Amino acid sequence: MATTNKNQNSDAWEYSSALDTTKVTIESKSKLFIGGKFVSPKSRSWFATINPATETKLSDVACAGKADVEAAVKAAKTALPKWSRLSGTERAKYLYRVARRIQERAREFAILETMDGGKPIKESRDVDIPLAAQHFFYYAGWADKLAYAFPGSTPAPVGVCAQIIPWNFPLLMAAWKLAPALACGNTCILKPAETTSLTALRLAEVFQEVGLPDGVVNIITGEGDTGRLLAQHNTVNKVAFTGSTEVGKLLMRGTAGTGKKLTLELGGKSANILFADAAMDQAVEGIVAGIYFNQGHVCCAGSRLFVEEPILEEVIYKLKQRLGSLRVGDPLDKNTDLGAINSKSQLKVVEGYIRSGVKEGAQLHQLTTKRLPSKGFWCNPCFFTDVQPSHTIAREEIFGPVLSVMTFRTPEEAISRANNSPYGLAAGVWTDKGAKIFEVAKKLDAGIVWCNTYNKFDASSPFGGFKESGFGREGGMQGLRAYVRLGGV
C-alpha cells in the first residue's frame, strides 16, 4: 500500500528559484596528479564524469592503470624521506596554507562538489567545504604536538598510505584521510570514487599553489580496479578505506598477512530512538535531517526510527507534514533540500529497496513533487510504516532517502532492537531525561551516539564504527593513531 503527499509548497508557498550561477571552469580532460604534476594516464583510458542533476558530461577523467599506480606509489615513496624528516612545525605550515586556500576557494569547491555529486549547494557550501578546511586546520595543530598525543612513545610515520574514498562526501573524505596522514609525516596516494573525482583534483591545484613538495600527495582517479591495484601494491604501508562493507571485506582479506596497516569506515543502518518525553518538534527536525541529508547518501544516516509506542500517530503526522515541505530539485538552487541521487545505478538500487518495502508489506509514505527537472536522477524522500524487523528495508543499508519507522515499548526493547543489526556505526537518542540518555547511549553498539541531535560533525570528534561498520577512528586525536607507528607497531 502506498500513500503520497502533495508538496504543499508547490501551490501557494513555492519559493522562487535562487540558483548559484557562479561559473566554475572545468577542464575537458581531468588528468592524474602524480609527483606534483598533472599527467595523462599511461593507460590512455578515460571515463566520463557527469552531472547527476542534468546528465550532462562535465569532463573526461583519467582511469589509472597498473603503470599509473606504479608511478604514483613511486612518487610517494621518493617524497617520503624528506617529508617525514621535516619538523612538525614545517609540515603544519603547509597544512595551514591548504586550509586557508580551501576557504579562499570555498565557493568554487562548493559548486563543483554539487555539480559532480548532486548534493544541494547549501550542504556543500555550509557543511562539506567548511569541514574539509577545518580538518586541515585541526591536524595542522597536531603536527608539532604528536609527542603529546602519545605520551611515553615516539610516534613515527607509517610510510606510504593508500587512501580510497567514496562518492558521498568527496572533498570532505579526502580531507579526513589526507590531513592526519600528512600531519604525521606520511606520503599519500588518494583514489577518489569514480563518479566524484573533480574536487579531489581541484585540491591537487591547491597543493601546487601552497608549494607542497612533489609526491607528498598523489591523486589517481579510476574505478574499482584502480583501488584494488593501489591497495595491493607491495610498497604501500597503510590502506585507509571508506566505502562499502563488501569492498572492505575484500581489502581485509587482501591485506591480511602483508604487514600493511588497515582502517575501514564502512556501511551502516543506524537507529534513531525517540522516547515519548522528547521535545517532539526538535526530534522530528533531527530525524528528518538524519535521513534526508545528502539524499540519504550518508553512511551514518538514521535510517531506522524506533518510536515509543504511545506517540507513533503523532510522529507519523509530523513526519508527513515535514515531508510535504521538503524541496527536491536543482541542487544548485539555494532553496533545495534534496538534490539528485549520485548516479543512475544508485537510483536503481534505492528504487529497488522501495519496491521491496512495498512488496514485503510495509506502508509507503512518499512526497510527490511537481517540479522535478526532466533529466537527472531523482528520488522523492519517503518513509515506511508497518515495518517488521525482518523486512529488507529494515536490515540492509539503502544509502538513499528512505526511512523505516518501527516502535518499542521499553528502553530495553529499544536497545535490543537498535543493536539487532550487523552494523554498528551511529545512533541517536531523543529524550528529555539526561539519565535516560546516558543509560541508553552506553548500551548501544555504535561508534557515535548523538543525543537530542543528529549528524553533527567536528574535526576534533572521532568517527568510526563497530561490527561490519569497520574499525579505526577518523577525526580527533584518535584519528592520528592510524598514521603513526609506536615502538614499531
CB of 223 to ligand NAD, least distance (A): 6
CB of 428 to ligand NAD, least distance (A): 16
Instruction: Specify the pairing of strand 426-430 against strand 423-424.
Output: unpaired
Of the pair 408, 450, the CB lying nearest ligand NAD is at 450
Instruction: Specify the pairing of strand 402-408 against strand 382-385.
Output: parallel
Which one, of 312, 273, 278, 308, lies nearest residue 290 by Cα? 273
DSSP code for 428: E
Query: In 44-156, where does DSSP find H-type helix?
Result: 66-85, 88-104, 106-117, 121-123, 129-143, 146-149
CB of 120 to ligand NAD, least distance (A): 18
Report residue 478 as a C-alpha cell. 584518535
Of the pair 191, 436, the CB lying nearest ligand NAD is at 191
Residue ranges that bind ligand NAD, judged by CB under 6 A? 164-168, 191, 193-194, 223-224, 227-228, 231, 242-244, 247, 250-251, 265-268, 299, 397, 399, 425, 465, 469-470
2: β partners:
364
Of the pair 325, 392, the CB lying nearest ligand NAD is at 392
CB of 399 to ligand NAD, least distance (A): 5
Instruction: Determine the angle formed by the axes of helices 170-183 and 198-209, rounding to 10 degrees.
Output: 40
Of the pair 220, 414, the CB lying nearest ligand NAD is at 220
- Determine whether 142 is exposed, middle or buried from the number of CB atoms within 10 Å of its CB (0-12, 13-18, 19+): buried
Calpha distance 272→381 (Å, rounded):
17
Task: Please indicate whether residue 351 is annotated as part of the active site.
Answer: no
Of the pair 283, 341, the CB lying nearest ligand NAD is at 341
CB of 286 to ligand NAD, least distance (A): 20
Instruction: Determine the angle formed by the axes of helices 224-232 and 245-255, rounding to 10 degrees.
Output: 30
Q: Nearest to ligand NAD by Cβ — which residue?
A: 227
Report residue 253 as a C-alpha cell. 582479506
Give how far Cα 407 sits from Cα of 44, 309, 417, 469, Å.
Answer: 55, 5, 9, 24
Of the pair 243, 357, the CB lying nearest ligand NAD is at 243
Q: For cell 540518555, name the residue.
A: 437
CB of 192 to ligand NAD, least distance (A): 6
Give how far Cα 200 sits from Cα of 207, 209, 241, 339, Å.
Answer: 11, 14, 16, 21
Report residue 55 as a C-alpha cell. 546528465
Which is the catalytic residue, given 194, 265, 397, 468? 265
**Residue 312 neighbours by CB under 8 Å, 6+ apart:** 405, 407
Of the pair 248, 376, the CB lying nearest ligand NAD is at 248
CB of 66 to ligand NAD, least distance (A): 14
Which is the catalytic residue, given 184, 299, 300, 382? 299
Are residues 237 and 161 in contact, defined by beta-carbon separation less than 8 angstroms? yes
Task: Please indicate whether residue 246 is annotated as part of the active site.
Answer: no
Q: Give the active site residues.
A: 265, 299
